[in-house]
Amino acid sequence: MGLLDIFRSRSEDTSAKRAKERLQILIAHERAQGQHGAPHYLPEMQQEILEVIRKYVHVEDDAVKFEVEHNEQFELFELNITLPEKGEGSGRQDD
Amino acid sequence: MRTTVNLYCDKGVEFVSKILVVTSGKGGVGKTTTSAAISSGLAMAGKKTVVIDFDVGLRNLDLIMGVERRVVYDLVNVIQGDAGLNQALIRHKEVDNLYVLPASQTKDKDALTEEGVGQVLEKLKEEGFDYVVCDSPAGIERGAQLAMYYADEAIVVSNPEISSVRDSDRMLGILASKSRRAKEGETAIKEHLLITRYAADRVGTGEMLSVEDMLEILAVPLLGVIPESNAVLQASNAGRPVILDDKTDAGQAYEDAVARLLGEERPMRFIETEKKSLLGRLFSRS
């Protein structure tokens, strides 16, 4: 019962819920922006990589995800591209 | 290439100092209260402990510890060679095994150096201290960076309030990238989240971020939750670390946190307004 109460109150639009949502967006943004030591050239590099990809495949902005992960010994730059379904996009390398 | 210096093991090694930083980014969240309580708790658990105030220019730990009238020399005096370490260390009268190294009131921001701090920590190690607790100043400037630089473990103090959580996240980023352990490629600083000024009733009504919210955002193991409590102000008024009053909620919550720091498992208390704490069981550390 106690637990249900908690879920109920938290599913409503409370100010704590708004605080959490704002924080999640902000912190995800700050982490991606290199506040955590990600290289300063990252935004520019993202843009250029996106342009190169678009020479071959048409992808939307949100189909490309960049992430920088910090490990104990190295930094990992991860690039994920969701390619369009067959038939969509230009696909000029296909034939 | 990696240097493995396993001088500091995670558990059970008594003869090597463990350097603990209490940090937060934001000011006023309870770093000094926490440093005073945690260092006292460690000393009461039999660990020879020193707590160092890194807030050069704005020292306050001496007041919270109740030793302000016995300050003769300070951290900067030791670094600059004007006083020996043993002249500057203040032995706490009430708690055995506990020593305080106060901050300087100098306005010279460059009084602390990485090398100087390293030498003092080295000397403390030679003196046989089990725990060195570094009370960080607010902000992310030099003093805060030096307080965390040599740390083996970090207690990130955060209030359930957006600006504090955001600053904690930034401080976690700094711990992961700018500390000695990060720079020398050693195992990362062990991070702990300590939530202070928690008001379970306000969480219940949806006015305050909950423990789960904060854990979800910051993703750091939870060391403890200190409830909002009158006892904290009373303790600072009296110059007696709040953990010494074991009848108070905040004192008990700090005592639990110290036990967890030493590897004991304890359920979280004071995070629900009533009933047996279910969340306590969910979040008890493994």
Q: What is the pLDDT of residues B129-144, one digit of tens each?
A: 999 999 999 998 889 9
Q: Is a pLDDT exceeding 70 seen at residue B253?
A: yes
For residues B171 and B201, is the Cβ–Cβ distance under 8 A?
Answer: no
Give B74-133 pLDDT, tens digit per residue. 999 999 999 999 999 999 999 999 999 999 888 777 889 999 999 999 999 999 999 999
Residue that has been written with the tokens 């007696």 in this structure: B240
Residue A20 is nearest to which of B188, B213, B274, comparing CB atoms?
A: B213
Taking the C-alpha atoms of residue B226 and residue B159, their distance in angstroms, rounded to an integer, is: 10
Q: What is the pLDDT of residue B279?
A: 61
A77 to chain B, minimum CA–CA distance in Å? 16
Q: What angle do CA B110, B114, B117 make, to 5 degrees?
A: 95
For residues A66 and A42, is the Cβ–Cβ distance under 8 A?
Answer: yes
Radius of gyration of chain A (CA): 20
What DSSP string runs through chain A?
Answer: -HHHHHHHHHHS--HHHHHHHHHHHHHHHHHHTTTTS--TTHHHHHHHHHHHHHHHS---GGGEEEEEEE-SS-EEEEEEE-PPPTTSS--TT--
User: CA dist A52 to A46, B140, B165, B227, Å?
Assistant: 10, 38, 38, 54
Q: Do B213 and A37 touch (CB under 8 A)?
A: no
Closest residue by Cα to residue A5 from B280, B204, B270: B204
Residue A16 is nearest to which of B2, B176, B213, comparing CB atoms?
A: B213
CA B277 to chain centre: 26
Tokens (6 digits) for B10: 């995670």
- Return the residue of A nearest to B186 by Cα: A72
Radius of gyration of chain B (CA): 18
Name chain B contacts of A70, Cβ cutoff 8 Å: 176-177
Q: What is the pLDDT of residue A3?
A: 57
Taking the C-alpha atoms of residue B277 and residue B255, their distance in angstroms, rounded to an integer, is: 17
Residue B209 is nearest to which of A6, A20, A37, comparing CB atoms?
A: A20
**Residue A69 forms beta bridges with which residues?**
A76
Banded pLDDT at A13 (limits 50, 70, 90): confident
Q: Tell me how many residue pairs between chain A and chain B have CB atoms under 8 A apart.
A: 68
For residues B175 and B154, is the Cβ–Cβ distance under 8 A?
Answer: yes
Taking the C-alpha atoms of residue B192 and residue B188, their distance in angstroms, rounded to an integer, is: 12
B201 to chain A, minimum CA–CA distance in Å? 11
Looking at residue B178, its amino acid is: K
CA B244 to chain centre: 16
Name chain B contacts of A17, Cβ cutoff 8 Å: 206
Q: What angle do CA B257, B55, B151 make, to 5 degrees?
A: 50
Taking the C-alpha atoms of residue B54 and residue B52, their distance in angstroms, rounded to an integer, is: 6
Q: Do A31 and B169 touch (CB under 8 A)?
A: yes
Q: Which of A10, A13, A20 to mutate to test the interface with B (most CBs of B within 10 A)?
A: A20
Closest residue by Cα to residue B123 from B74, B172, B86: B86
Give B64-75 pLDDT, tens digit per residue. 999 999 999 999
Summary mean pLDDT of chain B: 90
Taking the C-alpha atoms of residue B221 and residue B286, their distance in angstroms, rounded to an integer, is: 10
Taking the C-alpha atoms of residue B252 and residue B241, their distance in angstroms, rounded to an integer, is: 12
Residue that has been written with the tokens 């900067």 in this structure: B76
- Is the ipTM of this structure higher than 0.95? no
- Name A60's Cβ contacts closer than 8 Å, sequence gap at least 6: none
The residues on B that touch A, with CB distances below 8 Å, are: 2, 161-162, 165-166, 169-170, 173, 176-178, 185-188, 203-210, 213, 216-217, 272, 274-275, 278
Give A14-53 pLDDT, tens digit per residue. 999 999 999 999 988 888 765 455 566 777 787 788 888 8
3-state SS, chain B, equals CCCCCCCCCCCCCCCCCEEEEEECCCCCCCHHHHHHHHHHHHHHCCCCEEEEECCCCCCCHHHHHCCHHHCCCCHHHHHCCCCCHHHHCEECCCCCCEEEECCCCCCCHHHCCHHHHHHHHHHHHHCCCCEEEEECCCCCCHHHHHHHHCCCEEEEEECCCHHHHHHHHHHHHHHHHHCHHHHCCCCCCEEEEEEEEECHHHHHCCCCCCHHHHHHHHCCCEEEEEECCHHHHHHHHHCCCHHHCCCCHHHHHHHHHHHHHCCCCCCCCCCCCCCCCHHHHHHCCC
Looking at residue A41, its amino acid is: Y
Q: What percent of chain B has pLDDT over 90?
A: 80
Q: Do A36 and B177 touch (CB under 8 A)?
A: yes
User: CA dist A77 to A38, B178, B190, B195, Å?
Assistant: 9, 19, 24, 32
Q: What is the pLDDT of residue A47?
A: 79
